[in-house]
Amino acid sequence: MSTHFATLPDLILEPMVRAALMEDLGQHGDITTRAVIPASATYAARLNAREDGVVSGMQIARIAFHLMDAGLKVETLLPDGSPCKKGDTLMTVEGSAASILSGERVALNFAGRLTGIATLTSAFAAETQGTSTRITCTRKTTPGLRIAEKQAVLHGGGYNHRFGLSDAILIKDNHIAAAGGVKAVLEAAKASVSHMMKVEIEVDTLDQLAEVIATGGADVVLLDNMDTPTLAKAVEISKGHVVTEASGNMRLERIAEVAATGVDYISSGALTHSARTLDLGLDF
């Protein structure tokens, strides 16, 4: 089970879950359940894994059921960050059958999506075994779901990159072009940055990397779309100067050879934009 993450307060996640429930319930609520399920009916349901993976979204599923009905008894058996096997019960929900049915789809949508992200992240992280390289996500997340998806990356054993545009300076190739070059953009960043803010800059070539190191002011260098031999040279040049991050074309099958270069971080948008939803089901 991954342990380098902290559980977020429900208060942070609740607005996102509430919005999803409102989207599903619409203006008239669950008319099917209201029509066919007696208000007095109670049931015990099990949220089961239908394939192997790494669990995420249990906190959100619990919030979804409790927003539907605070009286539901929800017990998480395999918490976020736990490995699961096909057939494992991740959570049980007991109480009003109507409330369980009305909250089911939102809970499963979140849990399946987030478990898929955690599972893919775990596969990436496994490829770095025996190295000090860490797997990290990007901002390529589903709009409105970034908090949950970045948390799922942590559940899978990965690490988080900056959350958004406001918590770190990341100078990309277009910034460099618009600002007039590496030296100009780093000097501008150094002149405005807070002592609490990190500065990262993207480079495509070893010549750009040398200019970054000579200019100073960068804490992290993003080595973008480099082949493995070039990446290894970049890591060697960067030692003692800047933290290194490899990005671009970071497929699962390439992670082991990239990690072997000694790069500090490997970032991949695939963790969040290409993860397959894991098959979970709520069984009555």
Which among 46, 139, 172, 254 is annotated as catalytic?
172
CA angle 139, 261, 151 (to 5 degrees): 30
| 6: exposed, middle or buried (Cβ count in 10 Å: 0-12, 13-18, 19+) | exposed
Q: How far apart are CA 207 and CA 161, in angstroms?
A: 25
Tokens found for residue 98:
């109507």
* β-strand pairing of 134-136 with 199-203: unpaired
Q: Which is catalytic among the residues 50, 105, 146, 162? A: 105
The helices-and-strands tally (H runs, E runs) of the chain is: 11, 12
- For residues 45 and 284, the answer to whether their CB atoms sit within 8 Å is yes
Instruction: Based on the residue annotation, tell me whether 105 is a catalytic residue of this protein.
Output: yes
Q: Please tell me which residue in 18, 46, 140, 198 is annotated as part of the active site.
A: 140
Confirm whether 202 is a catalytic residue. yes
Catalytic residue among 80, 127, 200, 202: 202
Active-site pick, 80, 104, 127, 224: 224
CA–CA distance from 17 to each of 7, 21, 80, 109, 138 (Å)? 16, 6, 17, 11, 22
CB count in 10 Å sphere of residue 48: 18
* Region of residue 90 (phi > 0: left; psi between -120 and 50: alpha; otherwise: beta): alpha
Supply the residues annotated as catalytic: 105, 140, 172, 202, 224
